[in-house]
């Protein structure tokens, strides 16, 4: 109780003296001074939580792609819709069996996620949008379950989904180092794309691409900066809409609805991909 009163008085003080120049411009949590964080909590207590990992992404893309992607698009969304963006994480219990993939225990991952929710709640945040740029099926299911169980016992709305949960309108359901992720990097960080390596990817055979750690359509033929810009714009627009809903009176329902929709489209898309692989293997 003392903490809450203390936080409350800090918040009022911060709002009184805050001149309002940084709340929409500076959005990275770790770069903010206490007064700036207090003002965010007072004005719009929303936190963005980008997750990624270190994982092989073909020879043409950086191993930290998932975190770089999730962080950069959260920063863009926060500039448009408010809130503070936490630093990205680079760890996960799951990843592809290729060189430079790091994996950690599911327990430490779970403790980190729950601990971050608890800290955000303690300091007054009331809505969290967790974006996982790395989306093995187990990770997506675990994050949604952790968000749901936190919401059941705390007054904070938590939405935890992969970035493509906001991009179904253009049939983006995630890929790996293929058309979409390469487009993201071309739009966000072209300096990190190995164009020479990309030019070497001329196979159209899914198995050849698969063996090179590329899961999806050939990025050499289908990735573009324009496609990246389009998907990022859609993400930002839909995320900002969700941010406002999460802070409204039915915020938890908005998060639960998003989880249901994302789970059903993600897992049915995944099931279809598995069916495709089985058919190809069987030569059907």
What one-character-per-residue DSSP string does 204-241 give? --HHHHHHTT-BSS-HHHH--HHHHHHHHHHHHHHHHH
Establish if 72 lies at the interface with Zn ion (CB under 5 A). Answer: no
Q: Where does this chain touch Zn ion (CB under 5 A) — which range of 18-26, 62-70, 196-204, 224-232?
A: 62-70
Residues 6+ apart with CB under 8 A from 264: none
Q: How far is the CB of 210 from Zn ion (least distance, A)?
A: 15
- Which of 66, 163 has the CB closer to Zn ion? 66
Stretch that binds Zn ion, among 61-69, 146-154, 161-169, 263-271 (CB under 5 A): 61-69
Q: Which is nearer to Zn ion, 11 or 178 (CB)?
A: 178
* Size of interface with Zn ion, in residues (CB under 5 A): 1
- CB closer to Zn ion out of 23 and 53: 53
183-to-50, 179, 189, 217 alpha-carbon distances in Å:
19, 6, 10, 11
* Integer Cα distance of 137 and 114 in angstroms: 19
* Distance in Å, CB of 61 to Zn ion, minimum: 8
Q: How far is the CB of 134 from Zn ion (least distance, A)?
A: 6
Q: Which residue is nearest to Zn ion (CB)?
A: 66
Phi-psi region of 78 (alpha: psi -120 to 50; beta: other; left: phi over 0): alpha
**Integer Cα distance of 7 and 17 in angstroms:** 16
Helix, strand, coil distribution of the chain in percent, nearest 5: 60, 10, 30
Residue 59: closest CA among 216, 194, 176: 194
- 143-162 residues in contact with Zn ion (CB under 5 A) are none
- Interface residue with Zn ion, options 36, 38, 66, 72 (CB under 5 A): 66
CB of 62 to Zn ion, least distance (A): 10
Of 58-66, 139-147, 208-216, 242-250, the window that binds Zn ion (rule: CB under 5 A) is: 58-66
Binding segment for Zn ion among 63-71, 208-216, 218-226, 236-244 (CB under 5 A)? Answer: 63-71
| φ and ψ of 46, to 5 deg | -120, 130
First to last CA, the chain: 65
CB of 39: closest distance to Zn ion in angstroms? 34
Site residues, Zn ion (CB under 5 A): 66
């Amino acid at each position: 109780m003392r903490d809450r009163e203390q936080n409350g008085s800090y918040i009022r003080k911060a709002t009184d003296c805050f001149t309002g120049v940084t709340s929409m411009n500076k959005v990275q949590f770790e770069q903010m001074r206490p007064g700036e964080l207090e003002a965010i909590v007072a004005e719009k207590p929303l936190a963005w939580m980008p997750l990624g990992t270190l994982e092989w992404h073909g020879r043409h893309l950086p191993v930290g792609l998932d975190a770089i992607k999730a962080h950069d698009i959260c920063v863009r969304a926060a500039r448009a819709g408010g809130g503070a963006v936490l630093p990205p994480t680079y760890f996960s219990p799951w990843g592809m069996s290729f060189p430079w993939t790091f994996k950690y225990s599911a327990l430490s991952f779970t403790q980190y996620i729950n601990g971050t929710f608890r800290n955000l709640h303690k300091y007054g945040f009331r809505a969290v949008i967790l974006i996982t740029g790395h989306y093995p099926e187990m990770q997506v299911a675990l994050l949604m379950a952790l968000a749901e169980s936190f919401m059941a016992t705390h007054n904070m709305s938590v939405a935890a989904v992969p970035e493509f949960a906001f991009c179904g309108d253009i049939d983006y359901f995630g890929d790996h180092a293929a058309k979409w992720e390469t487009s993201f990097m071309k739009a966000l960080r072209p300096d990190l794309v190995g164009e020479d390596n990309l030019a070497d990817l001329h196979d159209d055979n899914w198995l050849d691409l698969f063996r090179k750690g590329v899961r999806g359509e050939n990025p050499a033929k289908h990735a573009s900066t324009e496609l990246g810009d389009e998907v990022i714009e859609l993400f930002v627009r839909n995320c900002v809409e969700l941010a406002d809903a999460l802070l409204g009176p039915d915020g938890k329902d908005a998060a639960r609805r998003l989880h249901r929709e994302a789970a059903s489209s993600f897992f049915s898309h995944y099931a279809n991909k598995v069916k495709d692989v089985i058919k190809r293997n069987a030569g059907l």
